[in-house]
Each structure stands twice: as C-alpha cells, then as structure tokens.
Chains A and B, each alone.
Chain A
Amino acid sequence: MATVSFHDATRVYPGADRPAVDKFNLEIGDGEFMVLVGPSGCGKSTTLRMLAGLEDVNSGSIFIGDRDVTTLPPKDRDIAMVFQNYALYPHMSVADNMGFALKMAGVPKAERDQRVNEAAKLLGLEEFLARKPKALSGGQRQRVAMGRAIVRKPQVFLMDEPLSNLDAKLRVSTRTQIAALQARLGVTTVYVTHDQVEAMTMGDRIAVMKDGLLQQVDTPLTLYDAPVNLFVAGFIGSPAMNLMPAKIVDGGAQIGDYTVPVSRDVLAKATGEDTVVIGIRPENFAVSTTGISVDVAVVEELGADGYLYGTITGSGDDAITAQQIVAHISARTAPQRGTTIRLNAADPAGVHVFSEKTGLRIS
C-alpha cells in the first residue's frame, strides 16, 4: 500500500492551445479512497491515465509511495485498473477466472489459491468458486472482476467510470459494494466519475476538477457545506444549490424585495463590486413570513417530502428576479402552485456568499 502524489503534473496534448491537466497537485493518503469528479473534458480521466502511465506527463512528477513513477512503463507501477475488461471464461471455474493472471505472473499454486480464497471471502463468492461463470448475474460478474484485481494485491487501484455500463439499479448497489470493499481492503484507490452523487457517496475525499484545473479537494461534507467557488457550489449537490445574484445594500444582499442579511465583514471582501452571489441549498429553504418572494410554478411531492420549483419575484433588478429556484419542503405544508410565497434560509449558517467577479467564496 502506498500514498500517491502529484506535483505540478501537466499534460498538454499535441496541437492543443491549453493543457488538458494544468499543474495538478494532490496528495492521496495511504489507503484513502480519492474520487476525481468533474464534467466531461475537465481532465479527470487524463489525470488518472497519467498515474496509470497511459499519458505522458509533460512537466511535473508523480510519486507512488517514495517511488517517482513519472516515466515508468505502466506494468512497472504496481497498479491495477479495475473493470478494464471482465470477460469471464466459460470453461474455467470462478476460482480460475479470478486467479489466472497470477498464474501468468508465475505465482506458485499454493499462494494463488490462498489469495483467491481470501478475495472470494471478501466478495461473498466462496460458494461460487468451483462453479463455471456462465450462470452468474451481472452483479456477480462484477464481483469476479473485482476479485481479479484484488488477488494481484497492487499498491493502488485505479477505476475509470467503472459503473458506466451498468443499469441504474446495479450501479447503486455496486457503488456501495465497492466503497465497503475498499474500506475493508484499505488499498489506496483513485476513482474517476462524472457523477457527483457517485463521488459523494463513495469517496473519503473528492477532488473536483474543471478545465484541467483542480478546484477543491475535501471530504464530501466539506465540499457540500463550504464550496470554495461557484463552480463547486453548483456542481456538488442534487438538486443543485440555488445561486442567486444579489445587489449589495446596507446590511446585506438584496434579492427582489428582500434583503438577505450578510455581515459587513463579508461584504467588504467584494470591494468595488455591486453584486454578490448568494447560495442557498434547496433543503435549507423554509416557507416563512419574511424572505425571498417566489411565484410557485410546480410542487413535486415525493412521499412525505417534496420539491417546490418557482421564480423569484418582487420589484427590483430583472436580472435578479425571474430566476428559477428550487426548495425542499415538507409535503404536509406544501403551498399551492400559482401562489406567491416567501422563502428564507432555515439555517443562516447555510447561506453562502460568493464574489460574482472572481467566483470565489467570501463568506
């Protein structure tokens, strides 16, 4: 097992006008589950591939433990790409399907059997070891594929969108299984996904990327509760955080006819700007007598809870009103569509303030 570190790692594709990954710095702890997440084209897969040795590193360096692997060929890096391929061989038992790569590497039979048995135990596949793989379900096949990687005992697991070819249900159960398994194995894991819910439910820490640049690395809760900029604020969370431009006024920031209280110290950080962006997560909204005025467009009830979709109203700047917002509400007190209500932050600590000019968090 080992740590992984990127030092100013940069990848520029030939003919590109900007790097696909630009001066990427990240320290991944021993045994940590690190998720790289971001929209398509953000550089997350390129970053993983630089670590795997599939992409040249144009400048900077990458370490696994204290070994500089920047220029090592992939096979010498002691990493395993999981789910790369999981063709299962019909004439071979599940045990042989899991252990054949060890045979190729010349691992003696006794040790092979031991490693396969250990992996099967972890994966709940002991009962299946002697069987042929043909009748296995999709989920069981995935576990055999995980077993193939586990028996190799690599220093680092790499997974690039491993769940993308599974149906929705299998995707959810497999992500839970991978996370639980990784925690038990304690093998450092770097996992790439475009899906922020997958990232949030699996990672010990998450590195959010955009346009080849690392935006923020933190635990899921810190990303959620204290996003460093507008991109992270909007990217993490489902439904997304409401990000509302607001005019700086005395005592706060004005949205429609309501002034959201913001401390003078915070507003001082937006010197020379007329507006800031106020961020409030849907579940931090509550219907109130004072607050932002909203025309209710749709109320979507989901059991005891529901989502309210509406438009900010009230006098003031058109660029500020007419904005769509979403609030998480209790279905029992759900307002009718077509009415106008007021929404306020249930927890004032959950009001995020960003500079509109730099996009950075100032609260």
Chain B
Amino acid sequence: MPHFLSSRPDSRLIPLPWQVPLAEWPADYLVALPRGISRHVVRFVAVGQSIYAAKEVVEELALHEYRMLAELHRLGAPAVEAVAVVTDRIDEAGQPLDPVLITRHLEFSLPYRTLFDRGVRPETVTRLIDALVVLFVRLHLIGFLWGDVSLSNVLFRRDAGEFAAYLVDAETSEIHPSLSDGQREHDLQIAHVNLYGEFLDLEAGGVLDPWLQPQVLADSVVSRYHDLWNELTGMEEFSGSEPFRIENRVRRLNALGFDVAELDIDMDGSKIKIQPKVVEAGYHSRRLMRLTGIDAEENQARRLLNDLDTYRASHGLQHMDESVVGSKWMRNCYQPVLEAVPFELRGKREPVQIYHEVLEHRWYLSERQHREVPLLEAAQAYVHDILEGLPDEKVSALDEPSVELRKLANPFDPSQGYVDDDGPPPFDPWEAAAEDVPAPDFLDINALRAKAQPSE
C-alpha cells in the first residue's frame, strides 16, 4: 500500500493509480500544461477542480524537497506549496516504484517558455530578470542556498506592470542560518551559467528578440543581484551632519518593497555608519493586507495602495483612520470593479491584476478622451476592449504557440521531444555495456583484489 506523507492532505489523491509508473498514467488523469523539460518524470494531475504537479523521484530527494518547500512556506518565501510525498509504491509485478512528490499548481502562473512562445518584448525580458533577481536575493536573505537557479525552476505571475517569481524546484537546495559570501557567489555562478544556457536555447529556438544577447542578459542577472544585495545589506557611511540619510536609506528600501526590521547605526565621532541587519520583503503587500485583507504581489499592492491614497485625498478622508478608509475603498472601488467582470471571464486574470489593469485602462481612456473617466465606466470598457480578447491564465493551458510551431511527441512531457525530431538514436555501446550490472550494495572484494594485483 502506498504511504502518504502530508501536512494538508487531499483525500481525492488517494485513489489515483499509484501502482503505475507516472510516465504510464492514463491521459484521463492528466492535464497538458506548458512547462520546461526536467530530469525526472513530471505530470500535471487534475482531481476535481484542483491541479497538482507530480514528480517521480528517488525517496531521499522527494523527502528533502518536500521539507525544503514546507520550510520556505513557513518562512513566507514565494515558492510552490508542497502537498504530499507518496512512498512505498509497488507496481503490479511487485517491483518498487520511486516516490512521487506532489505540489499544488500555482494559479495564474506562467512558465517562461509560455511567455516566450507567445512572443515577448525586450522590456518584458528585463522585467522577468528583475523578478528572478528579487526572488534570488530574498531567498539568500533567509539563508536559502538554491543550488540550481534557472528560469526553468521558477514560475512567473503578473504583478501590476511587473512580474513576481516563485521557486518551483528545491531539489538541490539547502537552508542555513545564513549564507557565506562563498555560498552566495557559487549560487550566483550557477545562475549565470544556467541563464546563459537558457537564453542561448531561446535564441536557438528562434523566440528571443534578435536585439537581445544571451551574454548581456546573463551578465545583467549578476550585476542586478549585486546592486540589490548591496542596497539591502551594504554599509553606508556619512558625516554626522547628515542624519536624514538614515531615513533616506529606509525609504529607499521601502520603495524596493522591503521593510527594515533591524538597522545597525554606529556613531563614530563625526561619522555615522549604518547597515541594515534584517530586511523583510513584502513592505507594500503587508500594508495592503492589513488595510484591506487583499493578498497581492508587491507591485500590485503598491499600485492599489496608491489608488487607496488617492481615494483618501480626493474624498477628504485624511483625518479618518487608515483602516476605515481601507474598508470604504474596498466597498466603493475594488469590489464594484470586480463585480463588473462577468463570471466566465474571471479565469483570465487574477482579481488584483484585473483591478490594476482597469486602473491602467482608465488612465488611457482619460488621456484619450480628455476627461476624468469614472472607475466603473472604465471597468466596463476594460472588460469589453481588453479582457474578452485575453487568453485564460488561471490554468495557462497550452495555447497555439506563435513561433514554435512544432508538435510535441507527448503533450504531457516536453522532455520526450517533438514529433519531427531526429530518427531513432544510434547504437550506444556504453548503454549496452551497462545492461549487466551487479546490485548496488554488493561489494565485490575479489574483483578489487584482482584489480590491485600488478599485471605480470
């Protein structure tokens, strides 16, 4: 009988065909979602309305990854949520099968290949890199050594005009109390090589804008990482006559979306030295959550808070308690806009993202029509002009790709190549020689002795 390890069990997973190798699961259970290639067998599984990602992997790694993802969840870092590890799988012939790690599919997430297949503008690539760097730095700040930073190992979600990145693969990761400079450098070096490889691959696949150069893009990851890391953790020294620079630094960090939990201030004669000791991501999203209960990405939260502040000023509510203003704004702005979206279109964008896009559309309409377009009118126009024409992103299903017009050999597994790939592989003597191997835990001491004998 298979064994489930889970902190939030979903009983609908129990009757799935665990006795069958994942690669052979009947299509009835599966959904073909876009994703990158992977070292292991990975499938998306639908149970009821929920979608899970299932990865078949050796026990040690499955448990390790489950624990790492659970720890990231506990620390509030952006990562997919681990749901269960299924061990003790036995196939119909009585042979053991590798365990399966199950994670929850992240709604409204976009793998980078989906974005690129639809065609992306150079600015979008920069935004994706920024999102990856923010995730990378956030993970390093909490002592998380990733070990395999790459575009394939993240998912992107729309975040107002930017993107937010989520970690999806924690197989090679480790959590330490804090990371040494050597560890961070090493992780960065891996990121540099991986991203260079991925951009070269996109170039080879004809989906990278010809203006963009893989080398420049990969180098920019390293320089942006250093810039952000230094801003968040670097020591700053200035004259004792400029104490306002302490507050400036805090504001800069807030603007980047970080709260300063501990700032080290050292007054040495006429000099002041400051260094942030503990910074926490989510400055805007926490404030929005506190005022409205809305769970949003950082830039979405910044955008909504701006709208809330504008609402407060324009309605003369400056003296009212902030949280009361928050609930008024919810009732009079946020909820009416979302209610204007017909039910069948709600899978196209996340609610918060819709609100952001309505604000954008209102600005555009107001500019064009030289008048202040009311919010609800803008919402209705947005639904009609924009939202109806957008692809569904709740579960970003396989659309017809715009550039890569090749058909996958197996729609559930891009690792198996395309229908029109090269013919059958050539004979490989190494594989043939590997057929007849002893059991892994057998120590053939006689063979070792024979090998150690000097030949006559």
What is the interface of chain A, defined by CB distance below 8 A to chain B? 13-15, 52-56, 73-75, 84-92, 96-97, 100-101, 103-104, 123-124, 127-128, 131-132, 134-137, 139-141, 143, 164-173, 176-177, 195-198, 200-201, 219-221, 224, 237-238, 283
Task: Pick from B152, B204, B438, B440 the residue with the most CB of A within 10 Å.
Answer: B440
Are B429 and A135 neighbours in the complex by a CB distance under 8 Å?
Answer: no
Closest to A56 in B: B180
What is the interface of chain B, defined by CB distance below 8 A to chain A? 36-37, 39-40, 57-58, 60-61, 98, 147-148, 150, 152, 171-172, 177-178, 180-183, 185-186, 189-190, 192-194, 196-198, 200-202, 204-205, 215, 218, 414-418, 421-422, 425-431, 433-434, 437-445, 448-449, 452
Are B449 and A221 neighbours in the complex by a CB distance under 8 Å?
Answer: yes
Q: Specify which chain B residues have a CB less than 8 angstroms from the CB of A87 in the assembled complex.
A: 36-37, 39, 148, 150, 152, 194, 197
Given known pairs A89-B204, A131-B422, A238-B442, the reply for A167 and B189 (CB within 8 Å) is: no
Are A221 and B448 neighbours in the complex by a CB distance under 8 Å?
Answer: yes
Q: Specify which chain A residues have a CB less than 8 angstroms from the CB of B452 in the assembled complex.
A: 219-221
Are B200 and A92 neighbours in the complex by a CB distance under 8 Å?
Answer: yes
Given known pairs A55-B182, A56-B182, A74-B185, the reply for A89 and B198 (CB within 8 Å) is: yes
Are B205 and A132 neighbours in the complex by a CB distance under 8 Å?
Answer: no
- Beyond A53-B182, A169-B437, 12 extra complex contacts between A and B, CB < 8 Å: A53-B185, A56-B182, A84-B172, A85-B150, A85-B190, A91-B204, A96-B200, A127-B426, A127-B427, A132-B417, A132-B422, A168-B439
Task: Pick from A92, A128, A132, A135 the residue with the most CB of B within 10 Å.
Answer: A135
Are A124 and B443 neighbours in the complex by a CB distance under 8 Å?
Answer: no
Given known pairs A54-B183, A134-B415, A201-B443, the reply for A104 and B421 (CB within 8 Å) is: no
Report which of B150, B181, B185, B430 forms a contact with A75, defined as CB distance below 8 A. B185
In the complex, what distance in Å separates the CA atom of A320 from the CA atom of B402? 76
Closest to A283 in B: B445
Given known pairs A134-B415, A140-B431, the reply for A85 and B437 (CB within 8 Å) is: no
Are B61 and A167 neighbours in the complex by a CB distance under 8 Å?
Answer: no
Q: Specify which chain B residues have a CB less than 8 angstroms from the CB of A103 in the assembled complex.
A: 200
Q: 10 tightest CB-CB pairs across the interface, nearest first?
A: A173-B434, A134-B417, A89-B201, A91-B205, A91-B204, A127-B426, A172-B437, A238-B443, A53-B182, A124-B430
Given known pairs A54-B182, A90-B201, the reply for A132 and B440 (CB within 8 Å) is: no
Closest to A45 in B: B174
Rounded to whole Å, the gap between the CB of A316 and the closest CB of chain B is 31
In the complex, what distance in Å separates the CA atom of A200 from the CA atom of B421? 41
5 A-B residue pairings within 8 Å (CB atoms):
A87-B150, A104-B215, A141-B39, A172-B437, A201-B448
Are A124 and B428 neighbours in the complex by a CB distance under 8 Å?
Answer: yes
Q: Specify which chain B residues have a CB less than 8 angstroms from the CB of A196 in the assembled complex.
A: 443
Q: Specify which chain A residues have a CB less than 8 angstroms from the CB of B426 in the assembled complex.
A: 127-128
Report which of B39, B148, B414, B440 forms a contact with A168, defined as CB distance below 8 A. B440
Q: Specify which chain A residues have a CB less than 8 angstroms from the CB of B443 in the assembled complex.
A: 196-197, 200-201, 237-238
Report which of A74, A96, A176, A195 forms a contact with B204, defined as CB distance below 8 A. A96
Are B425 and A128 neighbours in the complex by a CB distance under 8 Å?
Answer: yes
Rounded to whole Å, the gap between the CB of B436 and the closest CB of chain A is 9
Are A54 and B449 neighbours in the complex by a CB distance under 8 Å?
Answer: no
Rounded to whole Å, the gap between the CB of A203 and the closest CB of chain B is 11
Rounded to whole Å, the gap between the CB of B132 and the closest CB of chain A is 15
